[in-house]
Amino acid sequence: SNASTPTTVHPYAPLQSPTLSMSTSSNNRYADLGDIFSEVGDISVSAPASANLTKLTQRQIPTPTSTGGSSIAIPRPPSRRSEAAVARDRVSPASQIGRADSVGSLEFRSPSVGIGSSRGPSPLTIGMSDTIPLAVAFHEIIHAYFKGADESRCQVKMSGDMMISFPAGIVNVLTNNPNPAKLGFRIKILQNLDNVLPNKQLVTIDRLQSTSFSTTLEFNMPALTAILRRQSEQNPTAPHINVDILKYQIKAKPGAASCPFQLVSYWKCEQRHTDIKIDYKYNCHAMATASPLLNVSISVPVDGGVKNVQSKPHSAWQGESNRLVWNFTDISQHSESGGVDTLRARLEVATGPSNPAIISTQFNC
């Protein structure tokens, strides 16, 4: 097996969606947002709908290069655009529209893991004048199961991965130095994590240097050299080599407090038209430092042969994929609506009724 990937089974599989149950919360924090359309009528129980929100964050930790010797520049590890998809139970169309259970999966920046100085030289110092620059990236995911608008019933599971990017030139340096300084790092604020699973082929936990608030990990330098050399031979033109270091599980805050973007959807599917209402809320408290969600896209697939669309705010109908899409440059607490708003749409259909479907959203941060 490839040493850059832990061979242990990943213990942080996505949260399994429980059986959806129809419920109406007496404490409806979205009640003041109004009905979807005045002509739709009273709101009642309808089909569950899903939404999946993902986001990738990346942190780069540049290291100084010596003025007396050669240095190797390292590019930032490539970022990946976040996107979403979640499975949902399907039910028959309802004649009236009501609150729906929603399933979501979010990915966002977390302050839970801090990297401190390692014991011994770090970054990896080979000689008096050779310092190897490193970059570190964190990829964190939240699997969230929303039950209507009652945030206290939201179930959240969060996990993350840590990756280190080495410059390709490090292979020759390590190969020509049989006894390089040992590379290590420390994870702080350990009380915010439930578990840490290192890549045992490459790093080990130093129990003597670890405490209940931090843990110190050290690289197996021969194993690191071997995996870097192997990946370099497989892709000799790559400017940097990415290595998976560890996985961890994060302690979630109560309810939906760990979710930066929350959705509640309503569907009313009739023979000639389909009414859709989506309440959304930006949650700045899910991040240590509030940052806006950028390039937000909310996509709703609608079947039934859509002939005409009316929506508020304006949306785009993508006929080739039968999707209704709302796009926003950014959403934050500084938005005109304060980050809490409603999307409404009425779609005329030729072969209704439509079937409530998965709602997906993607954004950058």
DSSP string, 289-354: S---EEEEEEEEE--S-EEEEEEES--EEETTTTEEEEEEEEESTTSTTTTEEEEEEEEEESS---
Residues 219 and 280 in one domain: no
pLDDT value for 96: 40
Quote the tokens at residue 247: 């996985």
SS3 assignment for 164-210: EEEECCHHHHHHHCCCCCCCEEEEECHHHEEEEEECCCCEEEEHHHC
pLDDT value for 274: 96
Residues 242 and 305 in one domain: no
pLDDT value for 156: 86
Is there a domain that residue 112 lies in?
Answer: no
Nearest Cα to 344, choosing from 7, 36, 125, 84? 36
As a whole number of angstroms, the distance between CA 342 and CA 265 comes to 10
As a whole number of angstroms, the distance between CA 256 and CA 261 comes to 9
| Helix H or strand E segment including 155 | strand 155-167
Residues 245 and 330 in one domain: no
Residues 240 and 310 in one domain: no
3 state DSSP class of 92: coil
Per the CB < 8 A criterion, the answer to whether 101 and 21 are in contact is: yes
pLDDT value for 65: 37
Query: H helices then E strands: how many in the chain?
Result: 2, 18
- Report how far apart, in Å, the C-alpha atoms of 96 and of each of 46, 150, 211, 269, 304 are: 7, 21, 57, 8, 17
Is there a domain that residue 12 lies in?
Answer: no
Q: Which residues contact 71 (CB under 8 A, 6 or more apart)?
A: 65, 131, 133
| Domain end marker among 250, 270, 302 | 250
As a whole number of angstroms, the distance between CA 356 and CA 268 comes to 8
Which of 83-97, 117-131, 232-246 holds the top average pLDDT?
232-246
Residues 167 and 222 in one domain: yes
> pLDDT tens-digit profile of 106-136?
333 333 333 333 333 344 544 545 567 889 9
pLDDT value for 179: 81
Is there a domain that residue 308 lies in?
Answer: yes
Residues 302 and 199 in one domain: no
With 0-12 / 13-18 / 19 or more C-beta atoms within 10 angstroms meaning exposed / middle / buried, residue 323 is: middle
pLDDT value for 266: 92
Is there a domain that residue 30 lies in?
Answer: no
Mean pLDDT is lowest, of 41-55, 130-144, 243-257, for 41-55
Residues 289 and 208 in one domain: no
Quote the tokens at residue 87: 């499975």
Is there a domain that residue 28 lies in?
Answer: no
Q: Domain of 195?
A: 135-250
> pLDDT tens-digit profile of 309-359?
999 999 999 999 999 999 999 999 999 889 999 999 999 999 999 999 888
| Domain end marker among 250, 280, 311 | 250
Is there a domain that residue 322 lies in?
Answer: yes
Residues 152 and 211 in one domain: yes
Max Cα-Cα span within the chain: 77
Average pLDDT (45-52) is 38
pLDDT value for 39: 40
pLDDT value for 23: 36
Say whether pLDDT at 204 is over 80: yes
pLDDT value for 257: 87
Mean pLDDT is lowest, of 36-50, 158-172, 239-253, 283-297, for 36-50
CATH number of the domain within which 353 lies = 2.60.40.1170
Residues 228 and 331 in one domain: no
| Domain end marker among 198, 221, 250 | 250
Instruction: Give the pLDDT band (50/70/90) at residue 202.
Output: very high
Residue with the larger pLDDT of the pair 99 and 46: 99
pLDDT value for 130: 58
Is there a domain that residue 217 lies in?
Answer: yes
Residues 167 and 210 in one domain: yes
Is there a domain that residue 87 lies in?
Answer: no
Computed over every residue of the chain, the mean pLDDT equals 72
pLDDT value for 47: 36
Residues 295 and 318 in one domain: yes
Residues 174 and 275 in one domain: no
Quote the tokens at residue 365: 């941060």
pTM (predicted TM-score): 0.56
- The number of domains in the chain is 2
